[in-house]
Amino acid sequence: MIAPRKILTDEMVAKIEALAPRYPNRRALTLPALHVVNAELRHVPLEAVAEIAALLGLAPAEVQDTLSFYQFFHQARPHGKVRAFVCRSVSCALRGGDELLARLCRDHGIEPYGTTPDGELTIEPAECLGACDFAPCILANDDLLKNMTPEAAAAELRKPRARAT
């Protein structure tokens, strides 16, 4: 008997199944499935891992192994409604990326990778965002914030931001 799903909605399952014909086996759906859940819940709790595993015919440990490798999927609690990746790789660092990250964390009273108590904003250090022509830059949900000063970034990160993907 398959236990009833608690986290994965019918809609999420439909989205995952719609991708199945793209791959010759179901294990390849692991990352897409994690993205489907993460896009909705802003994290992938352990129960969701077990449910994805059941859906794909894998051991929960296989899905958890993949999830934990990427450090991208929060698990214990959701990330903020806005997730801001602040680049700290070389081209951004040369133009103040580290200072930008430190300043934004201090102003919001959180550590890097932390979320504000109201759940609005998570600030994470990122490696090169592939936008070094706009250094220092931040990826806030789907929006690339270019040539950021701490002041401009503070104003930008207060804006609500949808995630289209």
**Secondary structure element (H or E) that encloses residue 84, with its range:** strand 82-87
* Nearer to another protein among residue 50 and residue 131 (C-beta): 131
Among 47, 99, 107, 127, binds another protein (CB under 8 A): 127
The yes or no reply on residue 145 touching ligand FES (CB under 6 A) is: no
The yes or no reply on residue 132 touching ligand FES (CB under 6 A) is: yes
Q: Alpha carbon of 121 to those of 30, 80, 81, 111, 146: distances in Å?
A: 27, 4, 6, 12, 18
Kindly state the smallest distance separating residue 130's Cβ from another protein, in Å: 5
Kindly state the smallest distance separating residue 159's Cβ from ligand FES, in Å: 21
Kindly state the smallest distance separating residue 12's Cβ from ligand FES, in Å: 32
Beta-ladder partners of 87: 126
3-state helix, strand, coil in the chain (%, to 5): 45, 10, 40
Helices 150-158 and 97-108, packing angle to 10 deg: 50
Q: Are 66 and 85 in contact (CB under 8 A)?
A: no
Rounded CA separation 151/102 (Å): 13
Q: Which two tokens stand for residue 162?
A: 């949808």
* Nearer to another protein among residue 40 and residue 118 (C-beta): 40
The yes or no reply on residue 91 touching ligand FES (CB under 6 A) is: yes
Among 8, 12, 15, 30, binds another protein (CB under 8 A): 30
Kindly state the smallest distance separating residue 88's Cβ from another protein, in Å: 8
* Binding-site partner at residue 82 among ligand FES, another protein, none, CB < 5 to 8 Å by type: none
Which spans of this chain sit near another protein (rule: CB under 8 A)? 22-25, 27-32, 34-35, 62, 65-66, 69-73, 85, 88-91, 93-95, 126-135, 139, 142, 144, 164-165
